[in-house]
Chains A and B, each alone.
Chain A
């Protein structure tokens, strides 16, 4: 309740204020419209405040909602006037001084009844509300009413209308508000026995509603049944009065509900239609009100300029432009294949087409194309290097076309293709379309190149350790072999029988039979010693003659060089050794790795790889003299060879072969082997072809007449080549290597050469040295 009182007070204050404003405005302005405006404003503000009270007020208006609109619409100004007067009377409480002004205004109002209705219509509702609230508060109402009654003279006929207002017209005010639920949909109470609450907070019970029969009886019996209406707020039946029915009838007939309203009242011209001779305002209109706006003119000129310049386009033009922007196609090429003369990219290489898909890309490929578990694993493994994959997608099988999904990498692939097209440089590449077999040279069949050894004929068994070196005598009847077990054995070639075993004190690294048929001599390199041995095989005459030749050392008075003496010492063998066949011993200062005879059998050369600049030594048997051909070391000497006919010496260091002229004492040639480490070499009996074997698996064939570079490089072996040799009569040469194979090649100068037979050797093929 207290809340409501507060609201009421405020509304009353507002009203007072409004009164003030009204009076103020009256003083200032003659024009009613302005006043009206302000009135409206103030009333609005009141409404805002009172909206909070609407809950209470609405139910009162339930029936008179229409009334207040229609009836009060048509209420004469008097009624409104009365209200105003009542307000004014309230304001009198606070401000008596303005009473006179107010009364003035009211007089005016009464005189201009019709006009004021317009203004007041807006207020009326608020005021009605106020009245209701007033009614609610008995005390205050009484006071107000008393005051009103106290001043009947001031308001004139308004006081008379007061009763009318309460008794006849504005029945909505008198509506007893027994139900306090407010303006809510009443169906919320459908389920309850009560309808709401009265002012004391007690439940308002729903009146008993009769059944259909009751209703029927009522309809039949009650003469007022047709005008009985149910009040949703109270649930009571209300019988409409005659006036109400009159109003309803008039509304239905689309007439003004109020009977008393005069539709044809005389027209009051508030603003005269006649042309006034004198201005209403005391100053004339300003000039600028007759002139066009400069601002607008500026804008218009801007637009006109823009149109002229073509910056702004009319719609038709815009349409045209849009059509122009769309690509226009025409006959760009007049013929199919004849190009016109024009500037163009020269030597354009068009992009290669993409590979066409194979069976694996099918949506329903043959089953073998699908990945199995292992292939899938491989696929996953190459996740970080997808270019190594066999396929760029995983083949999939769908049993029906409708189940085929979109390919998720499609866009990406197209994008990559775009990148390829504009980022990859293009070049024309010749593609070989040859069979690999055509690259293999066509060689004569080995059958046509016979004879050459094909089968293992004899094995010479007897050595207990690795055989390092072998050699045959000039006649080819005997074979000489030196081994790590410290023995030298002489075999009969044809039978394989060991004729003789000569023991030495050290590892035998190299043996060679004397090429001179008149001498029965073998050279044996054993440790630091080189032994000249008479093998005592073959012709007895030759053997004995050899003995006699070597019996006496030739006397010479040449002083032996100090350098040579420290290198080698010639010695006569002891008796025990002599019996074994040793005729001369050469004691060297370093280990001897190789010995080789000169073609005539008088000279021989020895190689001491560790001998620095004294590593090569040439000795002469007839004079029992040695000499050191080189003063400087040119590298680690691997092996040396005498030219079969000319006085040349071939010296193989690690990487080169040097040829020295022994007569002129100069270097003739340096052969470039282009390999890392030479192991051995052999010279053709003709003397113009040299074979060099290397540890890096190569065999080099030098033609000494041609150049210092190898005529042929033969990579026939899988591992280091240890020994090479020529056949004495046939165009054959053999090579043995660590891969346990021996290859015999057929080589003809200026004729195609062919390797034609591999003999698998059982041991390391060092046997041929």
Chain B
């Protein structure tokens, strides 16, 4: 028996190594590349020439993404159109600590660029809508006719993610591109606003001494983060973003045109919404979003000096008109200012007018915060009563009145009925009897009866129509049948949803009204209970 001949290098020490050919095959490299690889990764390390190794490793070429930005966004408008995801991701990354695949530089760059963008929006007064969601703050700005919406996460947005859930490397790659894109967008926006691009401040008067003490870059960066100082301009020419609608004398004005004019005026008003108002942010209020909003609409804002750099006036300034507070009560209050909760600012912006302050006072239960992004044109959607009241204030007032009336009348009725229920019933019966007798006597008297009017049964007509419609439905072309079916199903679903929301609201309102009543009653009964005791006391004393 001849045993099978063993192949070379299949066992023993030889099996631990690989021939060069085998390695080439496995790595799918050419010999040249393999040599290069050996030098880069192997040789230098093998001969412990770390200097060389470092040199090789540090000398890797860095790609510039400028041309890719231009390729993907041939025009500036294109870039603006796609800015939503870019901004949201950059704002998120600016809150990140340094992670395995997210270098510190990247998040720092994100922070810088987003702050610059925010400054640009402030200078351009481009902010239009704001919204506090459970996810974060939504901001919507309008730059060059493009609406840009981004989300700024709430505080402490970073939570460690499992590897299976989120791959930070992918996100980091996105951010790498987005930072370049955002930088160029910022550059162009700044220039169109006549601002210096790496932002500069025209007048830092108080801080001259400080300036000499610290690194200037850091100093500027801090002021930028403060968001509270105007940037210096390259020229004093004002950039008029407001375009006048061209007036062609066509004689008649279209509805669209009128609408557009109206819109323009409201926006003009919106830009100066907070002009002349002085805000002070308490320390528990998130500084950045509020400063951004207030400055966007022309307000002056400041905060506690120890909270962050860049505060411009103190809390004891008497000219402050609004202090934004997010705590149930405060010890020291100034009589010259309103203490309002932050939602007031957001709601005012969305309403494009200063909301009445009384619902937003410190410690008040806030009215619901509504989304400004609801498309009003769409039919078949649920409109909560608060929103309806925004368009037509009379609705809510009526409702309130109704509620109050209802409460009162109910109570009155109850009270009255308690007192005179017995008598009423008797009287009612009597009346009915009388009426009947009168009727019969009348019938007997009149011998000629009027002809019966043919009464059209309303539901019968409706039924007929529906039946006809159902027959017509059957004649829909086969091509459209499925589409029609799905459309009708969608319609039905939406209707159901609206019905459900309405029902929930109704139940909620009823429940609340009941609670209110119960409370009132309790209060009353308590007071009643107390009163007699007082009397007793009096008697005793007498």
- Which residues of A approach B to under 8 Å, CB–CB? 306, 311, 325, 327, 329-333, 335-340, 342-345, 348, 350-351, 353-354, 356-359, 361-369, 372, 390, 393, 395-396, 398-402, 404-408, 410-415, 417-419, 421-422, 432, 436, 439-443, 445-446, 713-716, 754-756, 758
Cβ contact within 8 Å between A363 and B186? no
B302-317 at interface with A (beta carbon < 8 Å): none
Nearest chain A CB to B382 CB, angstrom units: 8
Cβ contact within 8 Å between B85 and A351? yes
Type the 1/0 row for B191-235, where 1 means its CB is closer than 8 Å to any CB of A: 100000100000000000000000000000000000000000000
Is B300 located at the chain interface by the 8 A CB criterion?
no
B residues in contact with A410, CB < 8 Å = 92, 135-136, 153, 157
Nearest chain B CB to A458 CB, angstrom units: 24
Nearest chain B CB to A354 CB, angstrom units: 7
Closest 6 A/B residue pairs (Cβ): A339-B74, A356-B373, A368-B505, A436-B487, A333-B76, A368-B504
B residues in contact with A441, CB < 8 Å = 472, 475-477
Type the 1/0 row for B358-393, where 1 means its CB is closer than 8 Å to any CB of A: 000000011011110110000000001111000000
A residues in contact with B81, CB < 8 Å = 350
Q: How many Å lie between the Cα of A405 and that of B132 in the bound state?
A: 12
Cβ contact within 8 Å between A336 and B484? no
Cβ contact within 8 Å between B180 and A327? yes
Cβ contact within 8 Å between A357 and B131? yes
Is B134 located at the chain interface by the 8 A CB criterion?
yes
Closest to A344 in B: B71
17 A-B contact pairs sorted by A residue (CB < 8 Å): A332-B70, A332-B187, A348-B72, A357-B373, A359-B384, A362-B368, A366-B385, A401-B132, A401-B326, A406-B154, A411-B92, A413-B135, A436-B484, A441-B476, A443-B471, A443-B472, A716-B474
A residues in contact with B508, CB < 8 Å = 367-368
Chain B interface residue count, CB cutoff 8 Å, equals 98
A residues in contact with B180, CB < 8 Å = 327
Closest to B82 in A: A350
Cβ contact within 8 Å between B157 and A411? yes
Closest to A333 in B: B76
Q: How many Å lie between the Cα of A393 and that of B133 in the bound state?
A: 11
- Which residues of B approach A to under 8 Å, CB–CB? 51, 55, 62, 66, 69-79, 81-82, 84-85, 88-89, 92, 109, 131-136, 138, 144, 149, 153-159, 161, 165-167, 170-171, 174, 179-180, 183-184, 186-188, 191, 197, 284-286, 326-327, 341-343, 365-366, 368-371, 373-374, 384-387, 467-469, 471-478, 480, 483-484, 487-488, 491, 497, 501-502, 504-505, 508
Which of A343, A365, A399 counts the most B-chain CB atoms under 10 A from its CB? Answer: A365
B residues in contact with A363, CB < 8 Å = 132-134, 369
Q: How many Å lie between the Cα of A406 and that of B166 in the bound state?
A: 17
Nearest chain A CB to B366 CB, angstrom units: 6
Nearest chain B CB to A20 CB, angstrom units: 47
Cβ contact within 8 Å between B187 and A330? yes
Q: How many Å lie between the Cα of A440 and that of B474 in the bound state?
A: 8
Closest to A365 in B: B368
Q: Within the complex, which residue of B161, B368, B469 is in contact with A411, where a contact is CB–CB below 8 Å?
A: B161
Which of B134, B180, B370 counts the most A-chain CB atoms under 10 A from its CB? Answer: B134
With A436-B484, A441-B472 in contact, do A333 and B133 touch (Cβ < 8 Å)? no
Q: How many Å lie between the Cα of A348 and that of B171 in the bound state?
A: 22
Q: How many Å lie between the Cα of A640 and that of B540 in the bound state?
A: 112
Cβ contact within 8 Å between A354 and B156? no
Nearest chain A CB to B108 CB, angstrom units: 11
Cβ contact within 8 Å between B476 and A439? yes
Q: How many Å lie between the Cα of A330 and that of B183 in the bound state?
A: 9
Cβ contact within 8 Å between B131 and A362? yes
Cβ contact within 8 Å between A364 and B343? yes
Q: How many Å lie between the Cα of A401 and that of B369 in the bound state?
A: 11
With A342-B74, A368-B502 in contact, do A336 and B144 touch (Cβ < 8 Å)? yes
Which of A311, A358, A366, A390 counts the most B-chain CB atoms under 10 A from its CB? Answer: A366
Q: How many Å lie between the Cα of A422 and that of B186 in the bound state?
A: 24
A residues in contact with B183, CB < 8 Å = 327, 329
Cβ contact within 8 Å between B368 and A367? yes
Cβ contact within 8 Å between A404 and B191? no
B residues in contact with A419, CB < 8 Å = 170
Which of B133, B174, B343, B484 counts the most A-chain CB atoms under 10 A from its CB? Answer: B133
Cβ contact within 8 Å between A439 and B483? yes
Closest to B486 in A: A436
Q: Within the complex, which residue of A342, A404, A755 is in contact with B475, where a contact is CB–CB below 8 Å?
A: A755
With A351-B85, A361-B371, A365-B369 in contact, do A332 and B131 touch (Cβ < 8 Å)? no
Q: How many Å lie between the Cα of A358 and that of B75 in the bound state?
A: 32
B residues in contact with A369, CB < 8 Å = 384, 501
Closest to A443 in B: B472
A residues in contact with B468, CB < 8 Å = 445-446, 756
Cβ contact within 8 Å between A327 and B109? yes
Q: How many Å lie between the Cα of A414 and that of B84 in the bound state?
A: 12
Cβ contact within 8 Å between B471 and A756? yes
A residues in contact with B472, CB < 8 Å = 440-443, 754
A residues in contact with B71, CB < 8 Å = 342-345
Q: How many Å lie between the Cα of A656 and that of B156 in the bound state?
A: 74
Q: How many Å lie between the Cα of A475 and that of B491 in the bound state?
A: 53
Q: How many Å lie between the Cα of A413 and that of B365 in the bound state?
A: 31
Q: How many Å lie between the Cα of A441 and that of B497 in the bound state?
A: 29
Q: How many Å lie between the Cα of A415 and that of B159 in the bound state?
A: 13
Cβ contact within 8 Å between B85 and A421? yes
Closest to B80 in A: A336
Closest to B485 in A: A436
Q: Within the complex, which residue of B156, B385, B473 is in contact with A440, where a contact is CB–CB below 8 Å?
A: B473
Q: How many Å lie between the Cα of A715 and that of B369 in the bound state?
A: 51
B residues in contact with A330, CB < 8 Å = 184, 187
Nearest chain B CB to A541 CB, angstrom units: 47
With A401-B342, A415-B166 in contact, do A361 and B476 touch (Cβ < 8 Å)? no
B residues in contact with A411, CB < 8 Å = 92, 157-159, 161, 166
Cβ contact within 8 Å between B471 and A754? yes
Cβ contact within 8 Å between A340 and B74? yes
B residues in contact with A401, CB < 8 Å = 132, 285-286, 326, 341-343
Nearest chain A CB to B186 CB, angstrom units: 7
Closest to B66 in A: A332
List 13 other contacts, CB 8 Å, given A401-B343, A439-B487. A333-B76, A333-B188, A359-B371, A362-B368, A362-B370, A363-B369, A367-B368, A369-B501, A401-B326, A405-B154, A440-B475, A440-B484, A441-B475
